[in-house]
Structure 1
Amino acid sequence: MQDPQTLAHLRRARDLMDRAYAEPLDVPTLAAKAYMSPSHFSREFRAAYGETPYAYLMTRRVERSMALLREGWSVTDACTAVGATSLGSFSSSFPRITGETPSAYRSRPHDAVEAMPPCVAKILTRPTPFD
């Protein structure tokens, strides 16, 4: 069990990833936001949230890219817009998180999602990693 102050510091870094997912974020930057060393931050983050900071950030990026792909963006443009630095790593992370490739996700119909209020669509389309 982590103490409340540690959790508050970790939330600062997690909130930064949620807000600035398209920015170049790395563990030292996130650790500084949480007032921790990079290795301590990585251990504490994983203990608190059950995944590494990088995995959390990639899930947020994939989640945001899903919305862009539903709008018809190309895979490359969506990848770039969400801050992924490599199309290859993005394209391999996407199916690991969603269960399908970005182009397969983009090409299938999303009519039900478009009919939902945005707040409901965000919850229902949030990817859950397959492990």
Structure 2
Amino acid sequence: MFAIRRVRDHLDLRYGEPLTLQTLATLSGMSRFHLIRQFRAAYGVTPIHYLSHRRIAKAQDLLRYANLTVTEVCVLVGFSSLGSFSSRFRALVGVSPSDYQRRYAHDTPHIPGCHLFMYGVIRQSGRSAGPAAGPSVEA
């Protein structure tokens, strides 16, 4: 179970980076297929689906509160294609990223993207420091 938790923590910390199932399997010390079975048994979804949900959840936060374009958000959360980001976002949220962002355009004040980068909430690699932007510990 410790290996599965390590994989989940890795996905939570590095969701904005390119991650492969083979990388996660190596991290866990399991085969790809065993990792998928064990991860699904523990969390109810495969590691790749968990990563996709994590990326979309972070994208929702950024679209709602940050003054960033949809394309910038797409890249920051780890998608390499705006089309795949938009279709996955629509499938999980029910609206396009642009419509989602417009919905919140006047409801909340937006944080300038440069401030998010400057204070470490968003790092250049696309990873987030989380709600409390303190020093991060790399494993």
Bin for the TM-score computed over the shorter chain: 0.7 to 0.9
Q: 2:82 aligns with which of 72, 82, 87?
A: 87
Q: Distance in 1 between matches of 2:109 and 2:10?
A: 27
Q: Distance in 1 between matches of 2:31 and 2:11?
A: 17
- Relative distance call for 1:31 and 1:72 in structure 2 (3 A) is same
Match of 1:36 in 2: 30
Q: Distance in 1 between matches of 2:67 and 2:55?
A: 17
SS of aligned partner of 1:30: helix
Q: Indicate yes or no: 2:98 matched with 1:103.
A: yes
Q: Distance in 1 between matches of 2:108 and 2:69?
A: 21
Match of 2:72 in 1: 77
* AA aligned opposite 2:46: T
TM-score by length of 1: 0.75
Relative contact order higher in (CA < 8 Å, ≥ 6 apart): 2
Q: Could you tell me how far 1:72 is from its partner in structure 2?
A: 2.9
Give the unaligned 5+ runs of structure 1.
1-6, 115-121, 123-131
> How many percent of aligned residue pairs carry the same amino acid?
46
Q: Distance in 1 between matches of 2:41 and 2:97?
A: 30
Which ranges of 4 or more aligned residues in structure 1 deviate by more than 6 Å? none
* AA aligned opposite 1:76: T
Q: 1:48 aligns with which of 11, 26, 42?
A: 42
Contact kept in structure 2, 1:72 and 1:106, CA below 8 Å: no
